[in-house]
Amino acid sequence: MVLIHHSIMPCTRARFTHLIIFAVVTVLFVATGAPAGEDLPPGGTFTDDNGNIHEGFIEAIFAAGITSGCSPDGTQYCPGDLVTRSQMATLLARALDLPPAGADYFDDDNGDIHEDNINRIAEAGITLGVKPRTFEPTAIVPRDQMASFLARAFKDLEMPTYDQFDDDDGNVHESNINIIAANGITLGCGTGAFCPANPVPRDQMASFLGRGLGLTENVPPPVQLPETGPLSEAQATALFSLYFPPEDVADAVHLADCESNLDPDAWNPVGFGGLFQHIAAAWESRAAAVGFPGASIFDAEANTAAAAALKGSGPWSAHWPACAAHIAAG
C-alpha cells in the first residue's frame, strides 16, 4: 500500500512502462540531420519547451549565449511569449556580438533594459526606428518586420530569384521576406503563405536566428519515466511542462504530489486513479477528449494531459479542492 497525501489510502496497480515520446519532433529533426541531444540532459536546458518543434534551435541559441531564458532561475524559456522590438534588439546584438554604439539614437527607450542593444543595432543599420527618434521598444514584432531585421543583420545573404509568397504582395518588407526565404531562414506558415502580420513568438524566433547564423539544432533526449514507482520532481516537471502553461507547472507538481505522491499507479478504492487522481467513471471521456482514446488511467502522460485540460477550464479547486487548499496554504 502506498501512502500519499489523500484522504483515503490508495493502493497501486501494475502499469506499462511510461515514456515521454516526442515522435513527431524526433522524426522531423532526424530527417534534417539534427544531433540527438549532444551534452544535454534528458529534457534539455529548459522545462517548458519539451517536445516543442523549435526546441533544437532554442538549445542552439542558448549554447551560443544569445538567450538565457525568461525566468530568474534559468529553467524556463517562455516559448509562447511574443517578442518585443526591444527584446529583438538584444537577441540580434548578442547574436552578432555588436560593439557599443557611439550615440543615443532614440528618445522613447530611455531607461529600457535593452536600450544599449537598441542603440547597437541602430548603429549597425539593422533598425531604422519607426519614425525619427522613436523605436517603440514595447511593440510586438510581426513577421514582416522580423524579416527586415534579419535581412539587414545577416548582410551576406543571397538575393532571391523569384517571389516566394503570395500573401505579402505590396508589403513594404516584401523584398526582405523574399531574401530570408531564399536563404532558408523562414519556411513560411503554409503553402505559398508567410503570414506577414502574425506576431513572432520566442520559439519561432529561436529557429529564425538559428537558421540565419547557421547553427546546428541540438535536440535533447526525451525524459524517461521510471518503470515503477513515483516520479521524481524533475521527471514530473518535464512531463507537466508538455501540457500545462509555464505558470502552472510548479503548482501542478505540488498538486500531483498531494494527490498521488507523484505515483502514476496510485489508486483510491473509492474510484480515483493516476497522478492527478481522476474519477474513474469519467476517465474514458476525459482521455478521449485530450487525444488519448483508450488510454489507461495509469498512463502518466494521458493522466497529465487530462488534468491540464481540466485546469484550463477553471481553478485547481474546481476539481481538486483538498489539495488545491494545500497549495494555497503554501
- The grid coordinates listed for 227 are 518503470
Residue 279 lies in a domain: yes
Q: Which of 169, 188, 213 is the last residue of a domain?
A: 213
Tell me what pLDDT residue 329 has: 60
pLDDT value, residue 228: 75
What pTM was estimated for this model as a whole?
0.65
Q: How many other β-carbons are positioned within 10 Å of the β-carbon of residue 31? A: 8
Same domain, 235 and 205: no
Beta-bridge partner residues of 298? none
In a domain, 295, yes or no: yes
Task: Indicate whether 247 and 150 sit together in one domain.
Answer: no
Q: Is 6 part of a structural domain of the chain?
A: no
Q: What is the residue range of 126's domain?
A: 23-213
239 shares its domain with 299: yes
With the CA atoms of 7, 13, 15 and 19 taken in that order, what torsion angle do they form, in degrees rounded to the nearest 10?
A: 20
Looking at the structure, do residues 205 and 59 belong to the same domain, yes or no? yes
Q: Rounded to whole angstroms, how far apart are CA atoms 166 and 291?
A: 34
If asked whether residues 73 and 181 sit together in one domain, one would say yes
Do 158 and 120 lie in one domain? The reply is yes
Question: To 10 degrees, what angle do helices 300-312 and 246-260 make?
Answer: 120
Whether 256 is in a domain gets the answer yes
Instruction: Tell me: do 157 and 67 sit in the same domain.
Output: yes
Q: What is the pLDDT of residue 250?
A: 92
Sign of CA dihedral 173, 178, 181, 183: negative
Could you give the C-alpha distances from 4 to 198, 226, 267, 282, in angstroms and in order? 46, 18, 10, 22
Q: Are residues 31 and 159 in the same domain?
A: yes
CA max distance for the chain: 71
H or E segment and range at residue 147: helix 143-153
Is 5 a member of any domain? no
Q: Are residues 64 and 116 in the same domain?
A: yes
**Number of structural domains in the chain:** 2
Give the residue from 163, 187, 213 where a domain finishes. Answer: 213
Let me know whether 243 and 198 are in one domain. Answer: no
Would you state the pLDDT for residue 12? 35
pLDDT mean by block of 10 residues, the chain; 330 residues: 36 34 30 52 84 93 96 89 97 98 97 98 97 97 98 94 95 97 95 96 97 95 78 90 89 96 94 96 93 92 94 92 80
Q: Report if residue 1 sits inside a domain.
A: no
Rounded Cα distance between 154 and 213, Å, is: 8
3 inside domain: no
For residue 221, being part of any structural domain is answered with: no
Contact 237, 243 (CB under 8 A): no
Are 40 and 178 in the same domain?
yes
Domain boundary among 213, 244, 268: 213
Same-domain pairing of 79 and 157: yes
